[in-house]
């Protein structure tokens, strides 16, 4: 796996964000937009960027403050994924099954260890924010995500059922 850096999304990334969005849609996996802060709902990526920036400053109605990061491969500048960081989970969905972060790797970059590296780098962001423990979740059937979480120190807490789907909850000690 090549080295990654997490960066704040910017206008210079619009083309790569469009490609990412198209590839995820073509893959047909509804859960593949996890951690993308609603990217699937925007045709205008510039509008999505404005939404993401507003979320950094303070949550809109029904949301919590969060940061979104693009995972950029350093060797060629390619965006391989997106990960978010929710500042807290004092929220009816996030506190039960959403957790502090979600992440997505573009389909042709999966299976290369990028998700684990993205999660590891985002845990550094958690440390800088003074967070001591974070909840990360995955679908019971998502073995790749489960391996990612376990590989970053996740400790299984329990499963919860949401709309007929079983979600596994894990806690990672940050400090």
Q: How far apart are CA 126 and CA 72, in angstroms?
A: 19
What are the tens digits of pLDDT across the range 91-133? 888 888 999 999 999 999 999 999 999 999 999 999 999 999 9
What are the tens digits of pLDDT across the range 6-19? 999 999 999 999 99
Q: How far apart are CA 135 and CA 154, in angstroms?
A: 8
Q: How far apart are CA 71 and CA 5, in angstroms?
A: 6
For residue 140, which of 132, 149, 130, 131 has the smallest C-alpha distance? 149
User: How does residue 150 score in pLDDT terms, banded at 50, 70 and 90?
Assistant: very high
Asked if 25 and 40 touch (Cβ cutoff 8 Å), the reply is yes
146 — phi, psi (to 5°)? -60, -45
User: How does residue 174 score in pLDDT terms, banded at 50, 70 and 90?
Assistant: very high
Residue 57 has pLDDT above 70, yes or no: yes
DSSP secondary-structure letter at 89? Answer: -
């Amino acid at each position: 796996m090549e080295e990654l850096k997490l960066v704040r999304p910017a206008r210079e990334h619009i083309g790569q964000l469009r490609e990412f969005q198209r590839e995820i849609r073509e893959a047909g996996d509804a859960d593949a937009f996890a951690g993308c802060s609603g990217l699937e709902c925007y045709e205008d990526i510039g509008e999505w960027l404005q939404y993401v920036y507003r979320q950094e400053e303070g949550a809109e109605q029904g949301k919590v403050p969060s940061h979104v990061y693009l995972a950029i491969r350093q060797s060629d500048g390619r965006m391989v994924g997106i990960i978010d960081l929710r500042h807290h989970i004092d929220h009816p969905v996030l506190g039960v099954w959403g957790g502090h972060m979600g992440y997505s790797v573009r389909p042709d970059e999966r299976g290369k260890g990028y998700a684990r590296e993205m999660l590891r780098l985002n845990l550094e962001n958690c440390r800088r924010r003074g967070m001591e423990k974070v909840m990360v979740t995955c679908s019971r059937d998502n073995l790749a995500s489960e391996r990612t979480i376990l590989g970053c120190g996740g400790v299984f807490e329990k499963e919860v059922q949401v709309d007929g789907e079983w979600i596994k909850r894990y806690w990672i000690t940050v400090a």
